[in-house]
């Protein structure tokens, strides 16, 4: 059974339901985008304001462990509750909620997996120059990919279409 809704659904989704679906996608993109923006700010602007590279790395590590990971861990719960609250509105809104839930679960699993891998590798490569900056760059690249996917999905939702990326695993499938 396909995850796509019937073709007629694409053509006849009322504007208010397309807008709700786009907002659901945007709600995921906002906090994840802020995480990436903070990292880029620390990397480019914050480095000139900090006295040493060690302070910059410690600030990024602190932010990632105590802010970013908790947000990424809580966000699937928020998207699940949001999906449960909005899925009865319209089938198109239900699909958007499922997609956002899949994005958040994929983001959490990939980020946690990469974090564990980088912590293990970090212990053996601690003395490699710029290893931590590159590691956090890779993590933020993954988060940025999910943000871009969510933005593109929101734009497709405004048009009345559903964007499905092959990079997102369908943890929650359509009926």
Q: What is the largest CA-CA distance in the chain?
A: 60
Dist CA 8 CA 174 (whole Å): 16
The percent of residues in the chain predicted with pLDDT above 90, rounded, is 28
Q: Enter the pTM of the model.
A: 0.78
Q: Which two tokens stand for residue 117?
A: 């891998």
What are the residue ranges in the chain where pLDDT is below 50?
Answer: 1-2, 7-9
> Helix, strand, coil proportions of the chain in percent (round to 5)?
80, 0, 20
Residue 24: per-residue pLDDT = 92
């Amino acid at each position: 059974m396909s995850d796509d809704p019937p073709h007629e659904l694409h053509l006849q989704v009322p504007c208010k339901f397309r807008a709700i679906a786009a907002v659901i996608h945007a709600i995921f993109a906002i906090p994840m985008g802020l995480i990436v923006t903070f990292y880029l700010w620390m990397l480019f602007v914050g480095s000139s304001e900090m006295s040493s590279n060690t302070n910059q790395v410690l600030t990024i590590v602190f932010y990632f462990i105590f802010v970013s990971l908790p947000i990424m861990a809580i966000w699937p719960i928020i998207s699940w509750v949001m999906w449960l609250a909005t899925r009865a509105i319209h089938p198109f809104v239900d699909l958007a909620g499922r997609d956002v839930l899949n994005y958040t679960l994929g983001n959490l699993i990939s980020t946690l997996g990469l974090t564990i891998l980088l912590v293990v590798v970090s212990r053996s490569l601690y003395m490699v120059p710029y290893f931590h900056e590159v590691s956090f760059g890779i993590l933020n690249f993954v988060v940025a990919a999910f943000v871009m996917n969510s933005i593109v999905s929101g734009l497709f939702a405004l048009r009345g279409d559903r964007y499905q990326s092959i990079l997102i695993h369908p943890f929650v499938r359509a009926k």
